């Protein structure tokens, strides 16, 4: 059931479930019940497409960590710095460049990781992520794209086996322990959960959130009422991360 939870929390799937309930009640000749199901479907569709709620839920997650202030990393770097860039998805398309094979999420993480690498002398990049199908792992694709962007091949380290964030944190701990200062790069919405898993492994990370979905101050969110299909995706991401935090608090994946 836990494995199915992310799919069950798909906002559109929930809408169609409510719409199916309305159709079933209509077919069975129960107008009062059909009305309740129909109202619920309409309200839910309004919430996920027109209300500020999806924006607010994403903002609350993304605002937990501010963009990295490089001054906080520059001091006390004698232990060395690992910039850990978590995998974020890719496609298997051998004819495309490594950067074009990455998802938008992964590309945003890569850009931030490479930016920090160039700004923090002596740092090295650690890329994570398994191979979801045939072809190279996400870690390998990220490293290839980073080298294309000017990163020295000797400064790229790979963790190509982990699948979930919890596994990425455990794999890093097993490989390097706590010998290095760790700058963790992942999407801003994902950072609270990712930092939590590294903390459970005894790794105190310096968060470097990237790929912010909501780029407006909190006071402006309440006025966003125009319908937009993009809010469905934001709601799904928010529900996914909140589910992940809930499972993390209970010791799950």
76 and 116, same domain (yes or no): yes
- The pLDDT assigned to 6 comes to 56
- In the chain, the number of structural domains is 2
How many CA atoms are closer than 13 Å to the CA of 113, on its beta-carbon side? Answer: 35
Q: What is the pLDDT of residues 80-123, one digit of tens each?
A: 999 999 999 999 898 999 999 999 999 999 999 999 999 999 99
72 and 56, same domain (yes or no): no
pLDDT grade, residue 3 (50/70/90)?
Answer: low
**Domain residue limits at 244:** 5-61+228-249
Say how far apart CA 209 and CA 250 lie, in whole Å: 24
- The pLDDT assigned to 78 comes to 55
78 and 40, same domain (yes or no): no
- The pLDDT assigned to 46 comes to 97
Provide the 10 A C-beta neighbour count for residue 75. Answer: 6
Residue 174: inside a domain = yes
Average pLDDT over residues 216-236: 94
55 and 88, same domain (yes or no): no
Residues 6+ apart with CB under 8 A from 180: 79, 80, 81, 82
Of the candidates 238, 246, 253, 248, the one whose C-alpha atom is nearest the C-alpha of residue 11 is: 238
b/e code 165-193 from CB counts within 10 Å (16+ = b): bbbbbbbbbeebeeebbbbbbbbbbbbbb
Q: What is the pLDDT of residues 12-64, one digit of tens each?
A: 999 999 999 999 999 999 999 999 999 999 999 999 999 999 999 999 999 99
- The pLDDT assigned to 152 comes to 97
82 and 48, same domain (yes or no): no
50 and 88, same domain (yes or no): no
- The pLDDT assigned to 1 comes to 46
Say how far apart CA 210 and CA 57 lie, in whole Å: 17
Residue 16: inside a domain = yes
């Amino acid at each position: 059931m836990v494995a199915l939870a992310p799919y069950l929390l798909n906002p559109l799937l929930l809408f169609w479930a409510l719409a199916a309930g309305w159709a079933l009640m209509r077919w069975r000749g129960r107008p009062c019940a059909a009305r309740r199901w129909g109202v619920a479907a309409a309200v839910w569709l309004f919430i996920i497409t027109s209300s500020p709620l999806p924006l607010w839920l994403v903002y609350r997650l993304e605002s937990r960590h501010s963009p990295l202030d490089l001054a906080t990393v520059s001091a006390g770097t004698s232990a060395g710095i690992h910039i850990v860039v978590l995998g974020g998805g890719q496609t298997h398309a051998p004819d495309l460049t490594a950067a074009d094979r990455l998802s938008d999420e992964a590309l945003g993480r890569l850009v931030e990781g490479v930016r920090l690498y160039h700004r923090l002398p002596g740092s090295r990049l650690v890329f994570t992520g398994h191979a979801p199908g045939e072809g190279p792992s996400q870690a390998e694709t990220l490293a290839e794209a980073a080298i294309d962007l000017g990163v020295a091949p000797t400064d790229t380290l790979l963790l190509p086996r982990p699948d979930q964030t919890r596994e990425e944190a455990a794999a890093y701990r097993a490989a390097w322990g706590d010998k290095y200062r760790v700058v963790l790069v992942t999407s801003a919405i994902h950072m609270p959960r990712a930092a939590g898993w590294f903390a459970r492994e005894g790794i105190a990370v310096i968060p470097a959130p990237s790929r912010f979905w909501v780029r407006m101050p909190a006071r402006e969110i309440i006025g966003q009422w125009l319908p937009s299909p993009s809010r469905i995706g934001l709601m799904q991401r928010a529900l996914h991360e909140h589910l992940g935090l809930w499972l993390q608090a209970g010791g799950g994946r």
